[in-house]
Structure formats: C-alpha cells, structure tokens
Amino acid sequence: MSNTFTVNNPATGETLATITRNSEEEINKALQTGHEAFQSWKKTNAHERSRLLEKWSQLIQKNKLEIATVMTKENGKPLAESIGEVDYATSYIDWYAEEAKRLYGRTVPAHVDGKRLLVSKHPIGLVAAITPWNFPAAMMTRKAAPALAAGCTFIVKPAEETPLTTIRLTELAHEAGIPTDVIQCVNGKGRIVGKVFTDSPLVKKLTFTGSTPVGKALIKASADTVKSVTMELGGHAPVIVAKDADIDKAVEQTIITKFRNAGQTCVCANRIIVHESIVDEFSTKLAEKTKQLVVGNGLDENTDVGPVINEGSYEKIVHQIEDAVTKGAQVLAGAEYDVDENKKCFFVYPTILTDVTDKMEIMHEETFGPVAPITTFSELDEAIKIANNTPYGLAAYFFTNDYRIGNYLFDNLDYGIIGWNDGAPSAAHIPFGGMKESGLGREGGTEGIEPYLETKYLSIGNLID
C-alpha cells in the first residue's frame, strides 16, 4: 500500500494535498508519547485545562474563514455550512472548558459510625479517536474537548477524505499551548490505524463516529484489552407528520434536516411518514421547495447542496433511487445527476420520492444522500411501527401541534435524539447519541464527559477511637 494519499476536492476533482500515512511503528510511538504525557497532563489543574481550551477555541474562531474554506474544499459542503460547523465545533470546546471545572465527586453517608466514604472522578487515560469525513471539525472537537477537559491525552485519526481540517485544528491546539504530545493527529487507513489503536493496552478509551459495521468491528477488537468505547454509528431517521401538523413548518424543517450537508449526516431524515389526509399537500410543497435548492460547488455563494463525497456514495444513492422507482415510487423532484467526465465529481439533485413502500431498500438502509422518500400512515400506532422498524435508533423527528400526540410519540419512539417541530436539535449542551445499533454512549452535554472519567471510591475507617 502506498504510504501517501491525496485529498481531493469533490466539487472540482482538484488535488488539494498529498498526505503521508503514518507507519504502524510511528502510530505506536505516538501512543507511547500520549501515554507518557498523560502522567503530567492529568495533574494540571482543571482551571488551567479550561483556560487552554478557551484559548484553543479563540484561535479557531480567529481563523474561522480559513478553516471553513479548507473544509468546503475537502468535504464539498456549502461555505455557510462550513462556517456554521466551525461555530458548532468551538461550542463543544467552550462547553467542556466550563465542564472541566465541574468534575465533582461526592461524600456518601456512611453505614458505620466514624467512617467517611468519598467518591471522586479521575481521567481515564489516553483516548484514541477515529472521526468521519462528514463533520471533520465538530466530530473531532466533540471528542477532544471532553477528553482534554477531563485530564486525558488524545490522539485522533481523521478520515482520509477530509484530514486537512483536523490537521489544522490540531496545529491550533498546539499554538494555544496544549502540549504537542497531549493532542496528536495521525493519518492512515482506518483498518490499519484502528487495529493499532484497539490492540494497544495504552489506549484506555476508543471513541468512533462512523458506520455501524465498522463500529461493531471496533467494539469486538476492543474486547481483548477491555477498552471503554463510545460509538456514534449509523441512523435511519424517521420524520412523522401528523394530520394536525403545521405543513409549512414541517416542510421547512424537513428541508433543513434532509438536505444539510447533501443528506450526508447520521441524523438526517431518511423516511418521511405522512398522514394520508395531508400527504398530497405536504409532498407538493416539499417538492416545490426542493426544486429551488441550488446544487453546485460549495464555494459558490448561491450553492445550497454540494457534491456527494465519492463514487461509492454516489452509486449507493443512485441504486436506492432506481430500486425505489423500479418498485413503483414516483419522482416529484430530482433523480437527476451530474458526473464529470473523469468520474471524480458526483452531484445528486435533491430528490423527492412518493408512493414509497416497505419493499424498497431506501426504507431499510441508510442513504447518506439528498433523497427524501415519502410513505403514508392512517393511525398513529402504524407510524410508530414504521418508524421503529429498523435496527437503528439515532434521531427521529415529528410534527404536530397536539400536546397529547407529541408526548405519545416521544414516549414510543425508540430513538436517542428527538425533534418535535424541530429539524435541527443538535447542540453542544445536549446528549447526542443513539439507541439500538446506532451506538453506545452519548457525546455532548453533561453526559459527554462521563466516558472520559473513571470513578474511584475511598472508604476511610475511624482514625480516632
């Protein structure tokens, strides 16, 4: 295997950089360095760690446009979305800079006279992270910030499609004063770096965002060293539109959740389940708005939807559309494509499909592309059954103005993140993560720092008789 790889702009095919893959020996050396650095980093006080994180966040903000431009070039998303992602990324650093100061222990009332029982929190050790190409900044900081705040050292392997954003964020962390062996970045094939990470007893925690099959392999490989794992895996988000819903709001929010990042997010809408009495109005309005979305290079100011990341993604999306159409789905918008002659750039026009049924692959497999399949329901329990009929349980959305329907849906949907009349529920201060095969653990919020901590308990006997 070549020891270099190129990073390409998915909107133009231009080569942006050639990056050297780290050898297994180099990665093991980086793990050793990170492990040794942990011995001193864990002793820095929480306020000092907080100050360094704040400085890191400020430097990222200072370089926001440069970072966002790099992100758009390597990922393809519109520049406005990249700028939004840089803000989202620093919001995690800001949140955990504060949480560092709140790693409280507790005193437990004793069961024996004179005893004192103390519980305290301690950093788990060296953390290894594998991050995805769809959010190269935010998925790195969502892991790095709580790890560093907790007193852990951190090593990240970004996706080969989008390493440049992560490399730049790591440089800025060093510029902020976080020691170079406390936060490190290595590059290489996921399979190889993943094996080095999981095999190493020095890595105490593995955190991964990516596909469910890869997550399962990493969980298995982590068993031999009994590593703590956090897994943010695939999703197949349902959107339920109840018959009393505000249709214009449902359309507006569905566009946001479906077409952000060209539909390449784990939490994006994948199955739109609409009450049969309003499906025609909803679908027509959704298709009208969808046709207005501008597809193109993310650096062009007017672009709403950029390219999909690569040929593999493109083929999967086209296959799902064709499978649905062959089995009877109607195309209300899109199902059009633009591929350059060198087969390096792949654009899929935002697509709305109606008359979608359970027999179609799109109802069962994550699309990771700008396609919205619409199906119908008559009774609410039927909508819930369709929504829960998947091994995934990351995000779900519903639209209703009826308090009883909303609470009933919230209680019965098996999902970790739920948006009620809201297509954009993500935020640094909430727990992000899924149920079932969508993952293990939560990132963000007060929950998001817990996985980086060990709990120690001290029982003090009666020292004075």
Which residues are identified as catalytic? 232, 266
Q: 309: closest CA among 301, 298, 319? A: 298
Q: Interacting stretch for ligand SIN, rule CB under 6 A, among 107-115, 251-259, 264-272, 303-311? A: 264-272
Q: How far is the CB of 2 from ligand SIN (least distance, A)?
A: 29
For 159, the token pair is 């996706």
Helical pair 138-150 and 163-175, crossing angle rounded to 10 deg:
30
φ/ψ of 347, rounded to 5, equals -115, 130
DSSP 224: T
- Taking CB positions, which residue lies at the least distance from ligand SIN? 426
Stretch that binds ligand SIN, among 79-87, 132-140, 333-341, 378-386 (CB under 6 A): 132-140
Which DSSP state fits 11?
Answer: T
Q: Which stretch binds ligand SIN (CB under 6 A): 68-76, 131-139, 344-352, 457-465?
A: 131-139
Site stretch for ligand SIN (CB under 6 A), options 60-68, 130-138, 146-154, 217-225: 130-138
Minimum CB distance to ligand SIN, residue 134 (Å)? 6
The distance of closest approach from Cβ of residue 425 to ligand SIN in the complex, given in angstroms and rounded to an integer, is 8
Q: Does 426 bind ligand SIN (CB under 6 A)?
A: yes
Cα separation, 357 vs 375, in Å, equals 6
The single residue among 135, 197, 208, 415 that binds ligand SIN, judged by CB under 6 A, is 135
Per the listing, tokens 């199906």 go with 375
Residue number with CB closer to ligand SIN (38 or 135): 135
Contact between 91 and ligand SIN by CB under 6 A: the answer reads: no
Out of 50, 209, 303, 390, the only residue in the binding site for ligand SIN (CB under 6 A) is 209
Under rule CB under 6 A, residue 265 binds ligand SIN: yes
Give the whole-angstrom CA distance, residue 346 versus residue 390. Answer: 29
Pick one of 173, 267, 332, 428: the residue that binds ligand SIN (CB under 6 A).
267
Helix (H, G, I), strand (E, B) or coil at 194: helix
In the complex with ligand SIN, which residue's Cβ is closer, 22 or 134?
A: 134
- What is the pairing mode between strands 228-232 and 203-209? parallel
* Residue 235 beta carbon to ligand SIN: minimum distance, rounded to whole angstroms: 8
Do 234 and 366 meet the contact criterion of CB atoms below 8 Å apart? yes
The answer to whether 392 contacts ligand SIN (rule: CB under 6 A) is no
Total site size for ligand SIN, rule CB under 6 A: 9
Are 111 and 81 spatial neighbours (Cβ–Cβ below 8 Å)?
no
Structure-derived torsion over alpha carbons of residues 421, 424, 430, 433, reported in degrees to the nearest 10: 100
266 sits near ligand SIN (criterion: CB under 6 A): yes
Residue 159 lies near ligand SIN (rule: CB under 6 A): no
Only one of the segments 260-268, 321-329, 336-344, 433-441 lies at the binding site for ligand SIN (rule: CB under 6 A); that segment is: 260-268
DSSP codes joined into one string, 273-338: EEETTTHHHHHHHHHHHHHTPPBS-TTSTT-SB--BS-HHHHHHHHHHHHHHHHTTPEEEE---EE
Contact by Cβ (8 Å): 381, 240: no
| 3 state DSSP class of 15 | strand
Residues contributing to the site for ligand SIN (CB under 6 A): 134-135, 138, 209, 265-267, 426, 432
